[in-house]
Amino acid sequence: MELTETWYLVLSALLFSIGAVGLLVRRNPLVMFMCIELMLNAVNISFVTFSNSLRDLAGQTAVFFVLVVAAAEVVVGLSIVVAVMRRSPNATADDVATLKG
């Protein structure tokens, strides 16, 4: 058996779908953020796979920017979650609606 890029892309598709299902099914905002991280990682696997198969460095550079955006998203998202959950510790994703004041 030979390891082709299709294997990596199938893995990436599976990981993305698992993340998407988790995002749709779970109601805890922290777990929903973790599912977004899974989806971003699936995209990173695709980027590195194409970078390796095309022998092109641009894919690896793109992974850096995905990393930065993921970090910024987690920081802002978690601070919103902290702000909501300080008022009601059992908040679900629906309770983010209290932010509208």
Partner 1 sequence: MVDVIVFLIAGAIVLGGALGVIVSSNPVHAALSLIASFFGVAVIFIIQEAHFLALVQVVVYAGAIVVLFLFVIMLLGVDTSENLRVDPLVGQRSLGLVFGGLLLALTLGGLFLSGPGGDEGAVALTGQESVVRPIDDRSQIEQLGEDLFSRNILAFQATALLLTIATVGAVVLVHNRGAEDLVIDEPGLSVE
CA distances from 13 to 19, 25, 67, 99 (A): 10, 18, 19, 34
CB of 101 to partner 1, least distance (A): 13
Q: Residue 44's CB: how many other CB atoms inside 10 A?
A: 20
CA 67 to chain centre: 10
Task: Tell the residue number behind the tokens 């198969």, with chain if given.
Answer: 53
Q: Name which of residues 4 to 33 contact partner 1 (CB under 8 A).
A: 6-11, 13-22, 24-28, 30-31, 33
Q: Name which of residues 36 to 95 contact partner 1 (CB under 8 A).
A: 37-38, 41, 44-45, 48-49, 51-52, 54-58, 60-61, 63-65, 67-76, 78-83, 85-90, 92
DSSP class of 55: T
Return the number of the residue (24 or 100) whose C-beta is nearest partner 1: 24
Counting residues that bind partner 1 (by CB under 8 A) gives 71
Q: Does 98 bind partner 1 (CB under 8 A)?
A: no
